[in-house]
Chain A
Amino acid sequence: MGEIHLTGHPASPGLAIGPVAVLTNAVASRAAKGDPAQEAAALKAAIEGAAMELAELIATVHGEAAEILEFQVAMLGDDALAEGAYEAVAAGTAADEAWRAALDAEIAGYRAADEEYFRARAADLVDIRDRVLAGLNGADAVAQISGDSVVMGDDISPSTFLAVDWTRGGAIALASGSPSSHVAMLARSRGAPMVVGLGPLPWNGQPPSLALVDGDTGTVIFDPKPETRRLFEHRMVAANAARIAADAGRLKPALTADGRRIAVLLNVAAPEELAGLDPAICDGIGLVRTEFLFEGSRGLPEEDAQYAVYRRILEWATGRPVTIRTLDAGGDKPIAGLTVDGERNPFLGLRGIRLSLARPEVFRLQLRALCRAAVHGTLKVMLPMIAVPAELDRANAMLDAEFAALRAEGIACARPPLGIMVEVPAAALCAEDFGAAFYSIGSNDLTQYTMAAARDIGAVADLNDAGHPAVLALIARTVEAGRKRGVEVSLCGDAAADTRLTKALVATGLTTLSVSPIAVARLKAAIAGVSA
């Protein structure tokens, strides 16, 4: 087989070389079905194999992740789970069909629960179901993927991603997938190069053994010729040297070539991302995505659990400002038991602040937790998907009420300033009309709503250009509104980390950019190269 070049979309920057590990699809059907005794034995082996894989996985994770997996192990180890499946197998059903039907019935029971906590558990049962199906279908399950591989597949789930140790230099190459998926965000924050939208993979049977992944340009080369590989390795060495040079400047404040100071903030999804990071690399945290607290299979988080997480982040920041975004669910971020299923166009539906105002009992809890955390540092709170000033006004009134209630209860609290995300063109055009304490431009959504093109729809992805003059004009208009009102304007979307755009963004008058921790060094190096 000759060398194969595929072009997709870059989803996480960086270069990687590694052996190909193909993600197999758990829904693929089995080749052959044996008699009931063979089928029962196959099912038993697959269940035991899945439990062993999970046990191995538990040894590599801590805390909450380990507890989730321990629950799955306990469920798998309980004969009651497979009872119905074994009965169906004895009656002549194939093991995989029987297992799927039994687990689907169990999952339906969870989805029908009154309590959101139990409904959210359905995700664990789905994980269990698919892991056993993968075993039955002879597929290699997740646990065997080593962190130096190039993981290939149609798409990859967050739990699969999290099971791999990406510090070992691996990468991801997907036939479909999206640069704005949660996995892509995770890949960017962990520094794993990722390319999506490669299209159908052009081989039958034997997959390639080696791949070169270029997460900067969005290309992947399979089974490279020795010369191609040598050139790629040269590029990796050069990129590495540049990274080390940039890392050296990571702890210094960012200054443009003509001496303008640019504040560089961090985007984080969970306090774990801050472990081992020196707060000195940044001027604060520009975006804490809180939806990660709400998803997975944990159910809606309690006030105390939220407070504990917010407090940890504020304590890490040691006085630097921390901007926490209230729940931004909906759109491409569904949350079981909270977001609306089956909206015809979820990006234009009940998402972000709209959902929070529609579900005040959930929103209030988050506001209370934020007020309590605010005493532990410099907290700012921002609202996602704001379109009209009335939304900010209602949120402000709710925040006032929760703050007053906490004070009346004698609980330590402070009222954080409330700002808005500018990601709906209406908010950018009328930014001056909002009584916001600050503006934070969400360039991902602002770009897709301005250009009417989604990044994850390959046919129109090229239109989704954050550097388009229309998007830059809306950013400049927001910066101007902030200047007139005397409030801070920052930008926290992926455009901030795209160093090809740094010059254009600084030219709009922006002086604060927020990026994932992995991008800080590159961004500071890019800022140093900008002059008026």
Chain B
Amino acid sequence: MHDANANRAAQTFATLTASAVLVNPVGLHARPSVKLTQLAKGFTAKIEIALAADGPWTDAKSPVKVMRVKAPQGATLHFRVAGPDGEAALAAMLGLVHDGFGEA
């Protein structure tokens, strides 16, 4: 399972962090959550999100857990990424948030 891979990856690769403000009108709501988790699942890296720089961290590949975060519009979303494709993953996640999840 990807979790096991991610854990192994986390031991070998540097942990990258970054944050972005949720600019789309409804925060990390249903559609954005689905987009975010779908994008995250495309990477091997372990990807986590949080509303504060020191966590608590949530698996960005689980729509159920991402929805539990209930991140509102204007919130700062922190990312923590570790894995072989960590840099690409982080860039892609930040890009998605900056683009407002493709919502008008």
Contacts and interface: CB of A to CB of B under 8 A. Distances in A.
B47 to A, nearest CB: 15
Given A74-B37, A304-B104, A121 B62 contact: no
Contact of A299 (B26, B34, B64): B26
A81 B26 CA distance: 23
A494 interface: no
Q: Is the interface of B mostly helix, strand, loop or mixed?
A: helix
Interface stretch (A109-117, A198-206, A516-524): A109-117
A80 B64 contact: yes
B8 interface: no
Interface residues of A, number: 25
Contacts of A299: 26, 29
Interface string A113-154: 111011001001000000000000000000000000000000
Nearest to B69: A118
B30 A124 contact: yes
Interface string B46-74: 00000000000001001111011010100
Contacts of B95: none
B70 A115 contact: yes
Query: Which of A70, A78, A114, A302 has the most CB atoms of chain B within a 10 A radius of its CB?
Result: A78
B104 A114 contact: no
A121 B65 CA distance: 14
Interface in B7-61: 25-27, 29-31, 33-34, 37-38, 59
Contacts of A121: 29-30, 67
Given A71-B34, A74-B34, A74-B37, A117 B64 contact: no
Contacts of A115: 27, 70, 72
A78 B62 contact: yes
A81 B62 CA distance: 9
Given A70-B34, A74-B37, A304-B104, A118 B29 contact: yes
A332 interface: no
A67 B38 CA distance: 14
B30 A109 contact: no
Contact of B31 (A71, A81, A110, A302): A71
A75 B63 contact: yes
Contacts of B29: 117-118, 121, 299
A109 B26 CA distance: 18
Nearest to B1: A79
A110 B68 CA distance: 8
Given A75-B63, A80-B62, A67 B70 contact: no
Contacts of B63: 71, 74-75, 77-78
Interface string A283-301: 0000000000000010100
23 contacts: A67-B31, A68-B30, A71-B31, A71-B33, A74-B34, A74-B63, A75-B67, A77-B63, A78-B37, A78-B62, A80-B62, A80-B64, A81-B64, A110-B67, A115-B70, A117-B26, A117-B27, A117-B29, A118-B67, A121-B29, A121-B30, A124-B30, A299-B26
